């Protein structure tokens, strides 16, 4: 090879390298590797799970540079504990349960933080059957109520009772699968549970819709926030950009779910092939109407919280749950990683 040819090849190689570096600098947010995120839901794969399964199925998390694994949960308390322990990076859990964890574990080094509000109102409600003679919250006084000890509605009962000036009731504990069955059998006079879970479970156990009396906490003076996306402090500190990317991709998928909830149920069926599709469509629509696209959510904006309302909730939870220390609302919530206002504008107009 001549000296001229060697010089020409060296020049071409230099130009190619320079061009590659130039184009690499011009391409924004080039993803070289997928950041793994382990995410746990608050409960089984049911209708509301579509809010998270949709962006996963559509590839929005992957497009954001994230490798997200979504697992079913067994209650908000368990989800919070697993995120705190580092078993999961993020999760979906009840804000009251998160406040309780913070206040009862003041020295815990890894207390999860809520970064996006999804259920602007608590889904907690009390249920009774008309044949019991219960028509108003006042009729619950002196009655036997049933719920698991960790049920959100049971734990927040003192707040509901105070808002409605109710006297004492007695409680019977049971595992979640027995709750609605015991009400239908008459073993208890009323139960507490999530509105879009217990109502459908009662119908599945033979109760007709016009036989069921429902007292949604949010409609009876209780303005507690519901479920939020929570993050481990480790991920929050080490990779806040991954959290931002997750929330942005989630909002994108949630907007699609709100626009067409029936179609989104296919993502749930893909994770649990034995679900009752029609039932889960109904459950999802109930959740969206009651706690996601509620009047309070539209007033405050999806994903956000109202600071005075959050502060009041912190005080109510500390009192009702009899926590070891007072709840610091600034420690359980941060809006710093939320997407832009335009990206959070996902609620359909009513």
Could you list the residue range(s) of the whole structural domain that residue 45 is in?
Answer: 35-121+225-332
Residues 100 and 132 in one domain: no
pTM, to two decimals: 0.89
Q: What is the pLDDT of residue 16?
A: 42
**Exposed e or buried b per residue across 48-71, where buried means at least 16 C-beta atoms within 10 angstroms of its C-beta:** bbbbbbbbbbbebbeebbbebebe
Which stretches in the chain have pLDDT values below 70?
Answer: 1-32, 350
Label residue 89 exposed, middle or buried (CB < 10 Å: 0-12, 13-18, 19+). Answer: buried
Whether residue 307 lies inside any domain: the answer is: yes
**Residues 42 and 230: beta-carbon distance below 8 Å:** no
Q: Does residue 238 share a domain with residue 324?
A: yes
Distances (CA, A) of 128 to 135, 147, 154, 199, 287: 8, 12, 14, 10, 20
In a domain, 14, yes or no: no
Q: What is the pLDDT of residue 142?
A: 97
In this prediction, residue 350 carries a pLDDT of 65
Q: Looking at the domain assignment, is residue 195 inside a domain?
A: yes
Tell me whether residue 30 is in a domain. no
- The answer to the question of residue 240 being in a domain is yes
Q: How does strand 35-40 pair with strand 90-94?
A: parallel
Strand partners, 170: 144
Q: Is residue 87 located within the same domain as residue 231?
A: yes
Closest CA to 233 of 117, 102, 65: 102
pLDDT of residue 293: 97
Tell me, yes or no, whether 295 and 182 share the same domain. no
Strands (E), 177-241: 190-194, 212-216, 227-231
């Amino acid at each position: 090879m001549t000296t001229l040819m060697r010089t020409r090849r060296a020049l071409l190689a230099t130009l190619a390298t320079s061009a590659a570096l130039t184009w690499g600098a011009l391409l924004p947010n080039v993803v070289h590797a997928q950041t793994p995120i382990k995410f746990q839901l608050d409960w089984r794969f049911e209708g509301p799970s579509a809010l998270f399964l949709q962006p996963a199925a559509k590839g929005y998390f992957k497009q954001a540079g994230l490798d997200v694994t979504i697992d079913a949960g067994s209650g908000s308390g368990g989800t919070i504990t697993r995120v705190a322990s580092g078993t999961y990076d993020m999760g979906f859990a009840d804000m009251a349960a998160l406040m309780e964890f913070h206040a009862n574990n003041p020295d815990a080094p890894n207390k999860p933080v809520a970064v996006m509000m999804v259920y602007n109102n608590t889904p907690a409600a009390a249920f009774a059957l008309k044949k019991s003679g219960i028509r108003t919250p006042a009729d619950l006084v002196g009655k036997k109520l049933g719920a698991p000890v960790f049920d959100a509605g049971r734990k927040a009962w003192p707040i509901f009772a105070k808002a409605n000036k109710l006297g004492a009731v007695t409680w019977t504990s049971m595992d979640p699968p027995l709750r609605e069955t015991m009400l239908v059998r008459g073993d208890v006079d009323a139960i507490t549970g999530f509105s879009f879970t217990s109502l459908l479970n009662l119908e599945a156990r033979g109760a007709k819709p016009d036989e069921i009396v429902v007292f949604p906490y949010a409609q009876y003076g209780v303005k507690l926030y519901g479920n939020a996306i929570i993050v481990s402090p480790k991920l929050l500190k080490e990779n806040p950009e991954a959290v931002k990317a997750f929330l942005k991709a989630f909002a994108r998928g949630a907007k699609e779910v709100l626009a067409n909830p029936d179609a989104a149920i296919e993502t749930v069926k893909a994770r649990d092939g034995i679900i009752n599709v029609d039932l889960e469509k109904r459950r999802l629509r109930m959740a969206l109407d009651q706690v996601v696209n509620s009047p309070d959510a539209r007033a405050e904006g999806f994903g956000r919280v109202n600071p005075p309302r959050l502060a009041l909730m912190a005080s109510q939870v500390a009192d009702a749950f009899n926590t070891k220390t007072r709840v610091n609302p600034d420690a359980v919530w941060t809006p710093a990683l939320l997407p832009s206002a335009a990206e959070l504008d996902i609620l359909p107009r009513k």
